[in-house]
Amino acid sequence: MHAALITVLVIAAIGIILFVLLQSSKSDGLSGAITGGAEQLFGKQKARGMDAVLNRITVVLVVIFFVDAFLLGYFF
């Protein structure tokens, strides 16, 4: 059981890294982060197409990661 939870945790961590790197950038680099990055963060623009799919997969992997980490910390 312990080995299975560790395996799921490692796979989720690697998946999070990969899917975050596959997502397109939301700002124009450092200048966009300083001057106008908050517009897109709090704006009403939704991800569309492949970005929406990658976003959903990332959210699912993060939930799996945190639940798995909680279970590992609680039971072992």
Among 72, 58, 62, 61, smallest CA distance to 6 is for 72
pLDDT of residue 17: 97
How many C-beta atoms lie closer than 10 Å to residue 68's C-beta?
20
At what angle are helices 50-75 and 2-22 packed, to 10 degrees?
A: 150
Q: How confident is the model at residue 42 (pLDDT cuts 50, 70, 90)?
A: low
**What confidence score (pLDDT) does residue 2 get?**
94
This prediction has a pTM of: 0.76
Residue position matching structure tokens 């939704």: 46
Q: Taking a C-beta distance cutoff of 8 angstroms, is the pair 48, 38 a contact? A: no
